[in-house]
Amino acid sequence: MKLYGTLLCPDCPPVISALKSAGVEFEFVNIMENIKGLKEFLQLRDSRYEFNEVKSAGNIGIPCLLVNEKTILFGEDIIDHFDI
């Protein structure tokens, strides 16, 4: 699993902390840390319908958890998915 986000976003650190506390294994991709991570996120954001509502609301779409190639979760839905 990959969690896309940035520590600059107020919603990301609590999700990171909750996942770690629950023992959920994931790779954190800090989209503000390097261009490769940002490009990876933007490619996902631009190609997946799950982001349509996020983009239409003017939001970035982080924190975003790519659970597998079929499932993307955002924000509080990440915590709810793992019953944290």
Distance, CA of 46 to CA of 44 (rounded, Å): 6
Q: What is the pLDDT of residue 78?
A: 95
Domains, the chain, with CATH or none: 2-81 (3.40.30.10)
For the record, the structure tokens of 79 come out as 């915590």
pTM above 0.85, yes or no: yes
Q: What is the pLDDT of residue 84?
A: 85
Q: What is the pLDDT of residue 8?
A: 96
For the beta carbon of residue 83, count every other beta carbon within 10 angstroms: 6
Scan for tokens 């959920």, then name that residue. 24
Q: What is the pLDDT of residue 39?
A: 98
What tens-digit pLDDT sequence spans the chain (84 residues)?
Answer: 999 999 999 999 999 999 999 999 999 999 999 999 999 999 999 999 999 999 999 999 999 999 988 899 999 999 999 888
